[in-house]
Amino acid sequence: MKLKRIISTPSVLLLAYHLCGCNSGSGGSPEPEVPEVVDLLPWTEGYIDSPFMVPDGTTIYFLHSPVVMLDLLNDPSTAAQEVDNLPGHQGVGTDLWWNTDLYVSTKNPDGTWTFPENLGPAINTSNLECCVWVDDTQTTMIFTREGDLDAFTDGRNYISTRADAASPWSDPVELPGEIGSYGTTGYHDLHMTPTGTLIGWSELSPTTDGAMFESIQTGENSWAQPIQMPAVLQDPALIDSQPWLSADERTIYYNRRDPATGETQLMTSIFDGSEWEAPLSVSLQNFVDANGAQVWGEPSFNVADEMLFVRFDTSVTGWKAELMTAPKLIGNAIGTPTALRFEAR
């Protein structure tokens, strides 16, 4: 993970990160018992990011760090622990600003989410883990890990597998070649398509602050050297990042951030069978916070056409990281977001 200050305005200092990059009834029957919930999101002292939702919408993965988010972005070396670790957090007693762990939560019938479960020592370490992707069977995972807080070039991308969704994850293996070397190439937020192609983005592009790449699978655990995704999808003056591709590989969504203002658009394009069409900006309804800022990122979608993403509320002291879902609407629009709610621990 690299942290990059990209915006400064008189009203609010907007710090956008380069993370791996910014919805009752009535009657005579008794109401069903609802589990006690706490809103995980208003832990303004904690940092939540890198969300991903599996296609059936039942499970989400994300990272958590027990420090104030804005402190982490402003001066991570002095950021202090401000909230209890989630259960299972690895590396307790180490540099916790640096030590983000990956967690999983499943959706309850009432729409709340189970209390986050740490992915365990095979995946999480005393270093930083982020940028998780999981396939639709939840048997293949790709994520990024920094190797040394004093040497960002140690960062690597890893793959882990398991026999089924109830089994433990295997010890992760570094992705081979250039695609695995996040620390020197910047490749991260990797997603694997059904045909095995890896898509992602790099903040170390020689032509822009952020550009999307793809790497074609050439064999078992083998991929070609990454190449930039088609130019029609990208604007060299802006930061195009965090792509998500549909199962049929014909629809892409991704972030487009203006480095001068910090405003983040959701872009989409359709593959017509031979080439990608010119991308369109998707209308986002009620995404801005009380400061008028629209800082969000990392979209993923389920088969019910809901988008999961993380939003940062700059109007809350320390900023509030919010995991949210929002529905796709007719007419190239995303509707009003709703914050996820979780069971109490």
Mean of all residue pLDDT scores within the chain: 80
pLDDT digit string, tens, across residues 203-212: 765 555 678 9
pLDDT of 130 over the 80 cut: yes
Answer yes or no: is pLDDT of 73 > 80: no
Question: For residue 338, which amino acid is it?
Answer: T
**Confidence at 8, pLDDT banded by 50, 70, 90:** very low
- Give pLDDT tens digits for 188-201: 899 999 899 999 98
Q: For residue 9, what pLDDT is reported? A: 26
CA distances from 137 to 161, 164, 193 (A): 11, 7, 13
What per-residue confidence (pLDDT) applies to 321? 84
Amino acid occupying residue 170: S
Three-class SS of residue 88? coil
Residue whose structure tokens are 């930061």: 239
The helix or strand, by DSSP H or E, that contains position 70, with its residue range, turns out to be helix 69-74
Q: CA 222, 247, 159: angle at the middle one, nearest 5?
A: 35
233's CB contacts (< 8 A; 6+ apart) are 212, 240, 252, 254, 267, 269, 276, 279
| 227, burial (CB in 10 Å: exposed 0-12, middle 13-18, buried 19+) | exposed
Look at the chain and count its residues. Answer: 345
Reported as a single tens digit per residue, the pLDDT across 255-311 is: 998 888 777 899 999 999 999 999 999 999 999 888 888 888 899 999 999 999 998
Handedness of CA 225, 268, 51, 104 (dihedral sign): negative
Q: What is the pLDDT of residue 292?
A: 87
**Cα radius of gyration rounded to whole Å, the chain:** 19
Q: Is there a contact between 285 and 336 (Cβ–Cβ < 8 Å)?
A: yes
pLDDT digits (tens, 9 = 90+) for 216-270: 999 988 899 899 999 999 998 899 999 999 999 999 999 998 888 777 899 999 9
The two three-digit tokens of residue 134, written as one number: 């999981």
Which DSSP helix (H) or strand (E) runs through 284? strand 280-284
Closest CA to 200 of 211, 210, 209, 189: 189
Can you give the pLDDT at residue 45? 52
Q: Which of 1-10, 175-184, 288-297, 313-322 has the highest mean pLDDT?
A: 288-297
* Residue 188: partners with Cβ closer than 8 Å, 6 or more residues away: 1, 20, 130, 131, 144, 155, 157, 182, 200, 201, 202
| CA–CA distance, 67 with 97 (Å, rounded to integer) | 6
- Residue 19 CA to residue 62 CA, distance in Å, equals 12
pLDDT confidence band for 21 (50 / 70 / 90): very low
| In the predicted structure, residue 94 carries a pLDDT above the cut 90 | no
